[in-house]
């Protein structure tokens, strides 16, 4: 159980949503759901679609606290967090440093590897290089270095004669992308909410999808979530241990979610790979963190209230380090 909802110390909450990233539409859905929950909890709520004038608007609105429901570039990479730090407005989720580290997939791998969390082998190349020839033996994955919701992810399957043309779509050919060893197996995820390490969910993408892509994440019926996942106790607890280690190593606050692949054909020491850590998990009706909270006994409204009351400035300062229970 997550415990009782915290006492309310804030009255006026600005919910930050939308923004300029590719994940804008999902952020709007998250923000609307959060705003509705906060209103039900008795808060005064200002819904703000974030633009370049956000500092000026916040100066006019004068909220007690900001709920950061932004996803992707600007909202999840430390930029919005830096603005809120400068304005001295308490905010939810992780701080400047942890947000920027987790968003940069290459830097996140360095940090995770340093604390023993297994990650897939990867290299950085230009989109042009990735398109012109195999820079890694297939199968492998080509993905943006700093984007979420599986935008721009291309799987190059074993036996492919050459890289697919889709690698060149959606970006400048000189843009740096990550080429990552493809990890086969089951898709698993786990979260840290405050000082609670969640149970583990297995994600089963439907409709013949290759992986937990944008459609599987957000379209109704796009995936089946099995909570708790049907795993051996050793693997199950190892995922929870790695999730907590990743959360702490990156300095995350409030909530984070770690995604894994598990290849049952390998020994336990090499079967798991952490794909990424998400510091601003979705808060839509199909999102995973609300499911984790509900399984632990908290309603969606209680989860949102917790995140608001956990808000503070200077979020990069380390708080209490939770343990796997």
User: What is the chain's alpha carbon radius of gyration, rounded to the nearest angstrom?
Assistant: 19
- Between CA 308 and CA 13 the distance in angstroms is 8
Spatial CA neighbour of 163 closest among 139, 140, 132, 137:
132
Cα–Cα separations (whole angstroms), residue 61 to 28, 54, 58, 79, 125: 19, 10, 5, 20, 44
For the beta sheet containing 12-17, the strands, ordered from the edge strand earlier in sequence to the opposite edge, are 44-49, 12-17, 65-68
DSSP secondary structure string, 215-248? HHHHSTTSEEEESS----HHHHHHHHHHHHHHHH
CA dihedral 41, 45, 47, 50 (to 10 degrees): -110
Contact 21, 325 (CB under 8 A): no
* 3-state SS class at 111: helix
**Residues identified as active-site:** 23, 149, 218, 257, 259, 276, 278, 282
The size of the chain, in residues, is: 325
* 3-state SS class at 85: helix
DSSP secondary structure string, 164-200? -GGGGTTS-TTSEEEEEE---SEEEEEEEETTEE---
* 3-state SS class at 324: coil
Cβ burial, residue 185 (10 Å; 0-12/13-18/19+) = middle
């Amino acid at each position: 159980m997550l415990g009782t909802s915290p006492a309310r110390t804030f009255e006026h909450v600005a919910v930050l949503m939308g923004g300029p990233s590719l994940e804008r539409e999902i952020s709007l859905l998250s923000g609307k759901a959060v705003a509705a929950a906060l209103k039900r909890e008795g808060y005064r709520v200002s819904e703000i679609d974030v633009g370049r004038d956000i500092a000026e608007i916040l100066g006019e609105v004068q909220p007690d606290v900001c709920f950061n429901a932004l996803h992707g570039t600007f909202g999840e990479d430390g930029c919005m967090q830096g603005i809120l730090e400068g304005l001295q407005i308490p905010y939810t989720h992780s701080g400047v440093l942890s947000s920027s580290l987790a968003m940069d997939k290459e830097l996140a791998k360095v940090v995770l590897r340093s604390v023993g969390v297994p990650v897939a082998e990867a290299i950085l190349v230009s989109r042009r290089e990735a398109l012109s020839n195999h820079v890694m033996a297939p199968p492998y994955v080509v993905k943006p270095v700093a984007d979420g919701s599986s935008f721009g992810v291309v799987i190059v399957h074993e036996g492919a004669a050459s890289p697919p043309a889709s690698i060149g779509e959606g970006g400048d050919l000189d843009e740096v992308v990550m080429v990552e060893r493809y990890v086969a197996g089951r898709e698993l995820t786990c979260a840290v909410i405050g000082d609670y390490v969640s149970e583990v969910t297995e994600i089963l993408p439907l409709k013949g999808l290759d992986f937990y892509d944008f459609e599987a994440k957000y379209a109704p019926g796009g995936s089946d979530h099995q909570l708790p996942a049907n795993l051996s106790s050793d693997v199950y607890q190892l995922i929870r241990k790695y999730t907590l280690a990743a959360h702490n190593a990156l300095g995350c606050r409030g909530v984070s979610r770690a995604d894994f692949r598990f290849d049952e054909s390998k020994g336990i020491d090499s079967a798991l790979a952490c794909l990424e850590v998400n510091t601003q998990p979705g808060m839509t009706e199909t999102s995973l963190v609300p499911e984790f909270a509900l399984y632990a006994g908290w309603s969606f409204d209680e989860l949102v209230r917790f995140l608001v009351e956990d808000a503070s400035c200077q979020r990069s300062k380390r708080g209490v380090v939770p343990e796997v229970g």
